[in-house]
Structure 1
Amino acid sequence: MMFTLDELETASLRIHEVFAGTPAYAWPLLAERTGAEVWVKHENLTPTGAFKVRGGLIHVEQLARDKRAPNGLISATRGNHGQSLAFAGRRFGVPVTIVVPEGNSVEKNAAIRALGAKLIEHGADFDAAKIEAMRLAQLHGLHFAPSFHRDLVLGVASWALELFRLAPKLDALYVPIGLGSSICGAIRVRDLLGLSTEIIGVQSAGAPAYARSLAAGRPVETERADTFADGLAVRIPDPAAFAIIRDGVSRIVTVSDDEIAAAIRAYWTDTHQLAEGAGAAPLAALMQERDAKAGRCVGLPLSGGNIDLALFRDRVLGGA
């Protein structure tokens, strides 16, 4: 998973051919709310509304160049990874099939289809959808695109490079963990730039696989991934991601669904930006640790804004 700064700069240039990065702002109302100087990286403003598109562009372009997906590619997702592959597949002429769990986000499913991908619903959760995608890959001769891969980490690391260069020196950076590409990219960028920023992982209390793994010193699966924050709903840690996270984070904070909902509301009132569950989780963690971070300079990736209207209305505003 290791890449050089030159490789990252090159990947960033390729991504910026498609969109010009995303802004980072220090929001005054968030500072009042948390007691910290808070720099938000607005990955909700990418062409797919989430950071994942960065990795999808790098991975699918490489597949197209190497002709490694002659019959197309297939992957599993709860939404943003699938949108990123569909977006990149359309750009580079690679047919894309995406498997999502049954009952997945209606609006994310619609966005994947609108980008030209074939959508299949299967299984109770992400991990069951992943097993089905791998089966279909073998059955139909499709290239299976995992959710954690060097190309993906290299691509998504570009958001962290932009943030570290846009913001003042950050004392801490809270990063949400699904399967782990975003936090692994952030760890690598921090180390490449020789920074001392504390990187703190954030998981849902209902899907704490990496938090439990960190405590145990080895990958630990959970029986369920029970959270409305679908980008965090992973039961089975990736061993390569876990190794990077174990060596690169200071700790992992778990946040409840109620805390995530409160953070979504805070983003809306303080910045007028809509965050999905995973995108709001870092703010939820900072709000939980407000006293410890008072007076510090803190970075938060608002990693995505793709939340269904019904979920926002009923789970977030309904709990206000």
Structure 2
Amino acid sequence: MNLKDIIHNTPLKFSETFSQMVGSSIYLKYENQQKTGSFKVRGAHNKIVTLIKKGAPPAVIASSAGNHAQGVAFAASSLGIKSTIVMPKSTPIAKVAATEEYGAEIVLHGDCYDDAYKKAMDLQAESGAVFIHPFDDEDVIAGQATIGFEILRDLPDVDIVILPAGGGGLLAGVAYYIKQLKPHVKIIGVQSTGADAIVRSFSSSEYVTTEKAATIADGIAVKIPGTMTVSLIQKYVDEMVTVTDGEIAAAILLLLERDKQVVEPAGAASLAAVLSNRLDLADKKAACVLSGGNIDVSFIHKIVEKGLVSRGRQLKLRTVMLDKPGSLEKFASIASKCGANIIMVQHDRLDADLNINEAILHVNFEVSSPKHGKELVQALEQNGYKVTIE
């Protein structure tokens, strides 16, 4: 009831495209279309409403470089509560501006989330504001669980629900809710291979943290997951898997091309797991939660390029050729006959292992498929080029 008439009831739609790709029934839950662009507003709003019911707090404070910041700022403003968000100095200007526009006071501090968190706790102690944790809080978890309610309402015969996990609030909340009503529904959590603390915790049945979290999926790049969330995940989640950054990028690209949806890396992790063919989805109805769509516009072209490489639509290679007039023309003519498009060329004449009349050629090609790329490499090798895929 705390979220009634506040959040969007985001669509849950059958995807013909992705269902055909994996041979099962795939449904997409579009939390990238949620207010503030992600599911985070659910937990933030539920927490602040709960606080108000217990006696209105003077203000709230949070630390975040992304979706939690915007969720808290929006929720607080809509409820007439002052909010302060501490963000790392490295936070993209667009995210700072968006959070500010939702009504928060912004404090830029430190180089990473941990620095921002420490500053937020200092400010909280000074001001008496209530700290809103991004995931390890029962009211926040309960807010995220409303996604589980909507999935069961819109797809009562769902067999599997797949969700991304960083700190674990979304996964823990949805898993707990669904298992209370339909314990036979399988819950699968997804993390990046570069930020897999919950996967390690799940497999070892112990609470595990990691020293680093290196992934393009900044929304789930968490080194220290919640103790409360990990406990719930170990009890109610059936399976945890990881996906690579390349697989995430490929999923983002497919969502852009085939579904016309802008989804951030963390939000695409669930679909990446489906497309990786690591999950047993045969004859099942599976719901993938696309948890957010707040991707930096300046970052999209990098994601698209990485996705094209992962899908075999771009090919990067190097070879050695004679450094004389006509050499590049000959090389390009072979590519042309194969129907490959050269999109980048770089000469290196200074490598110590080169003969005086040689140059290393780094080339990026646009090809139609992995098979097309192999045909191009074979044609170059047949014409005497020693090719190394980069």
TM-score (norm 2): 0.75
Q: What residue is the counterpart of 2:318 in the other structure?
A: none
SS in 1 for 2:202: helix
Structure 1: tracts of 5 or more residues without a match: 1-9
1:88 pairs with 2:88: no
State which structure, 1 or 2, has the greater radius of gyration over its C-alpha atoms: 2
The structure carrying a bigger strand percent of its residues is: 2
1:123 Cα shift?
Answer: 3.1
Distance 1:167 1:270 in 2: 23
Residues 42 and 143 in structure 2, CA contact (< 8 A), matched pair in contact too: yes
Larger deviation, residues 274-283 vs 96-105 = 96-105
* One-letter amino acid matched to 2:48: V
1:89 Cα shift?
Answer: 0.7
* Aligned match for 2:29, one of 32, 36, 41: 41
- Aligned pairs for 1:1-320 (under 5 A) are 10=1, 14-70=2-58, 72-147=59-134, 148-289=136-277, 292-317=280-305, 319-320=307-308
SS in 1 for 2:3: helix
SS in 1 for 2:35: coil
Deviations 1:263-292 (A, max 9, x none): 111111221111001110000111112673
Residues 248 and 269 in structure 2, CA contact (< 8 A), matched pair in contact too: yes
Quote the sequence identity (%): 36
1:118 Cα shift?
Answer: 1.3
* One-letter amino acid matched to 2:61: I
Deviations 1:123-175 (A, max 9, x none): 33323322221122112322111112111111111111111111252221111
Distance 1:318 1:284 in 2: 14
Deviations 1:35-91 (A, max 9, x none): 221111111111211111111111112223333521x11111231111111111111
Distance 2:119 2:212 in 1: 18
TM-score (norm 1): 0.91
Distance 2:193 2:160 in 1: 21
The structure carrying a bigger helix percent of its residues is: 1
Residues 62 and 132 in structure 2, CA contact (< 8 A), matched pair in contact too: yes
Residues 179 and 185 in structure 2, CA contact (< 8 A), matched pair in contact too: no
Residues 39 and 167 in structure 1, CA contact (< 8 A), matched pair in contact too: no
Change (3 A) 1:189 1:217: same
1:319 Cα shift?
Answer: 4.2
Change (3 A) 1:161 1:132: same
Residues 27 and 270 in structure 1, CA contact (< 8 A), matched pair in contact too: no
Residues 274 and 305 in structure 1, CA contact (< 8 A), matched pair in contact too: yes
Residues 198 and 225 in structure 2, CA contact (< 8 A), matched pair in contact too: yes
Change (3 A) 1:68 1:19: closer
1:105 Cα shift?
Answer: 3.6
1:259 Cα shift?
Answer: 0.8
Distance 1:316 1:218 in 2: 37
Residues 78 and 230 in structure 1, CA contact (< 8 A), matched pair in contact too: no
Distance 1:25 1:187 in 2: 20
1:309 Cα shift?
Answer: 0.6
* One-letter amino acid matched to 1:242: V
Distance 1:119 1:218 in 2: 36
* One-letter amino acid matched to 1:41: K
Distance 2:12 2:154 in 1: 7
1:20 Cα shift?
Answer: 4.3
Residues 190 and 196 in structure 1, CA contact (< 8 A), matched pair in contact too: no
SS in 1 for 2:224: coil
Q: What residue is the counterpart of 2:325 in the other structure?
A: none
Residues 61 and 130 in structure 2, CA contact (< 8 A), matched pair in contact too: yes
1:212 Cα shift?
Answer: 1.3
Distance 1:20 1:259 in 2: 29
Structure 2: tracts of 5 or more residues without a match: 309-390
Distance 2:141 2:271 in 1: 22
Change (3 A) 1:42 1:291: closer
Larger deviation, residues 135-144 vs 284-293 = 284-293
